[in-house]
Chain A
Amino acid sequence: MWRKSKPYLLLLPAAAAIILLFFGGIFDGLLKSFGYFPAIGQTELNLAAYDRLLSSDAFWKSLTLTLRIAALSSLLSAIIGALVAIALFFLNDAMKTTSPKVWHRLFQLPLTIPHLVTGYIIVLLFMQSGFVSRILAAIGWIDDIADFPVLVNDTFGWGIIFTYAWKEAPFVALMLYPVLSRIHGSWREVSRVFGAGNWQFIREVVMPVMMPAWMVATFIIFVFTFSAFEVPYLLGVTYPSVLPVYSYQLYTSGTLADRPEALAVNMILAAITILLGLVAYYFSKRWNVLKGWG
């Protein structure tokens, strides 16, 4: 009996912690999103909060904004990350022994910087009186603060997108690099024998090899940026706001009536992330991309 139940007993503390602290909280939120507040005598379940939410303009605007920011952030980080990974690969190929390790370390730096600090770095760089604007003024491209576009706390979300690109591009590069390093030097020789230049080698060999890992890395960033709070809270505008910020605004608006709506936003967010997570999991399993990584 002991032998049979032993693994389950070993799993119990970790599973119980997550079930109680995490799923318990989600379930608690789910009940309250259905209007279940025993503290104020409401014990009937209803869909009023979802009704109000789905018919409100603010929710749909928020959803579109969230999707757009997540899509652009993940795409931008994916492109920068891929370029760096390919450059590192060629560099490594060319000078076997020297610097790639230093590059790696340097490129990992953004990963260790907390999100709020990254956000503030972007504020100082891209606000209208920021560092980039000062440099442009110094070289004579703009004459006035107002000539510099509003890129921070703007309605489009550029500041948020830049922050994520800076922070997540290294993540993409670090996920791609091990995959690329499995390309043998001899493949390059062979491609040269067949008359392929560098560009053709990238297009015909490097790109197909890194594609699966690249897609999954991009997808992971999409899911993360879709549901992250700190950066849009710091760099966004009050209206329209991304879904996590919208939920927080509703939650802290002061009236208890808005709370079920806030929790309803959360449940919709959770449902979308679970769906996206399952898609990512399916593809990563199918393509076996994470082999040799982690």
Chain B
Amino acid sequence: MKKHPRFLSLFLFIGVFIFVIVPFVPLILTSLSFGWRWPDVVPQAWSLRAWEYVVNDGRTWQAVGISLWIALIVTAINIVLAVPAANALMRYRVRGRWLFEAIIFAPIIIPPFISVMGIHLTFLRLGLTETVLGVVLAHIAPTLPYMFRAVMISYQTLSTDWEDQARMLGAGAMPRFFHVVLPHLLPGILAGASLSVLISLSQYLITFIIGAGQVVTLPILLFPFISGGDPGIASAYSLLYAVIAILALIIMDAALKRYYQMNKASQNQSKGVKP
């Protein structure tokens, strides 16, 4: 019986390795190869040509900047919209609660491109196509439900007693929100923000319809290369795109951990316990 776990763990390790890691190998090799012909499993000649192209092309960094900028604005808008809404649904008796939930969660089920294709001509008339603002507006529906859900979960564990106590000590509405409510919601907001950023970064079709090729985010820049363009450049762009998505997530995760550590430290201090 003792032998079993080790065998299983080795089996799992190989399985997960092949499943998760190996698929990246051709992507990395293609971005570094020079004329990689068919039967060769490993390229005969290496070259940094594709990476030089990607790094030196001004459009790359412009696209990275615009993608992150759009993701950040979208996330900021989502926070402003989701916090009051989650507060209302979790803490008040709301009539037609199911209706509000159905409205806000609908974009998870119904694909957003359906709405975007419908609204396209209206956006055109309003002059919102080919603008960053138009793309931001198009990204709100697919991302807001995730932020909303994350904040709602945070509200579940926040008792009104805390705010009542702050009120008793003389804190007004604003200080109560910023010193009592917001710190408690922050982890949830960060979790929602990770999802919101990730989803915004990965939108292709709705950005393409509304941006009409003028708002060039990373996926828009990437697409012509991966659908029959230069494989080396396509691979380098793909890797860059994936790394940026992962980095965005890691930064959020690190912020969350830091926050928890700070919290722990301050709690320990107030209890007079040395950390």
Q: Which residues of A contact B (CB under 8 A)?
A: 6-8, 10-11, 13-15, 17-19, 21-30, 32, 39, 80, 84, 87-88, 90-91, 94-95, 99, 103, 106-107, 109-110, 112-117, 119-125, 129-131, 133-135, 137-138, 145, 166, 169, 198, 223, 227-230, 233-234, 244, 247-248, 251, 262-263, 266-267, 269-270, 273-274, 276-277, 294
Contacts and interface: CB of A to CB of B under 8 A. Distances in A.
B153 to A, nearest CB: 7
A10 B88 contact: yes
A267 B11 CA distance: 47
A24 B119 contact: yes
Given A106-B16, A115-B202, A117-B238, A134 B39 contact: yes
Chain B, interface residues (CB within 8 Å), range:
35 or more
Which of A30, A113, A119 has the most CB atoms of chain B within a 10 A radius of its CB? A113
A277 B109 contact: yes
A39 B85 CA distance: 37
Given A114-B242, A120-B27, A269-B111, A25 B118 contact: yes
A123 to B, nearest CB: 7
A270 B113 CA distance: 10
A11 B117 contact: no
A34 to B, nearest CB: 12
B235 interface: yes
B82 A6 contact: no
A273 B16 contact: no
A114 B242 CA distance: 6
B185 interface: no
Contacts of A25: 114-119, 122
Nearest to B198: A112
A178 to B, nearest CB: 14
B273 interface: no
B249 A112 contact: yes
A13 B81 contact: yes
A21 B138 contact: yes
A112 B23 contact: no
Contacts, number: 235
Given A120-B234, A234-B223, A248-B205, 10 more contacts: A13-B80, A14-B148, A21-B115, A21-B119, A91-B12, A113-B245, A116-B222, A120-B226, A134-B38, A198-B4
A102 to B, nearest CB: 10
Interface in B90-128: 91-94, 100, 103-104, 106-107, 109-119, 121-122
Contact of A234 (B25, B30, B227, B231): B227
B254 interface: no
Which of A17, A248, A263 has the most CB atoms of chain B within a 10 A radius of its CB? A17
Which of B8, B119, B246 has the most CB atoms of chain A within a 10 A radius of its CB? B119
CB-CB nearest 10 A-B residue pairs: A29-B118, A25-B115, A94-B5, A25-B119, A7-B92, A277-B109, A14-B85, A10-B88, A7-B88, A131-B26
B24 interface: yes
A23 B148 CA distance: 18
A277 B222 CA distance: 32
Given A11-B89, A112-B198, A120 B110 contact: no
A286 to B, nearest CB: 16
A117 B218 CA distance: 11
Contact of A21 (B80, B113, B141): B141
B270 interface: no
14 contacts: A8-B88, A8-B94, A13-B80, A13-B81, A14-B84, A23-B103, A28-B119, A106-B16, A112-B198, A115-B204, A120-B238, A124-B26, A138-B41, A234-B226
B109 A17 contact: no
A134 B38 CA distance: 6
Contact of A116 (B8, B21, B226): B226
Given A25-B116, A29-B117, A116 B223 contact: yes
A284 B135 CA distance: 34
Given A15-B85, A234-B226, A294 B115 contact: no
Contacts of B84: 10-11, 13-14
B105 to A, nearest CB: 9
A121 B114 contact: no
B140 A229 contact: no
B18 to A, nearest CB: 11
Contacts of A244: 111, 113
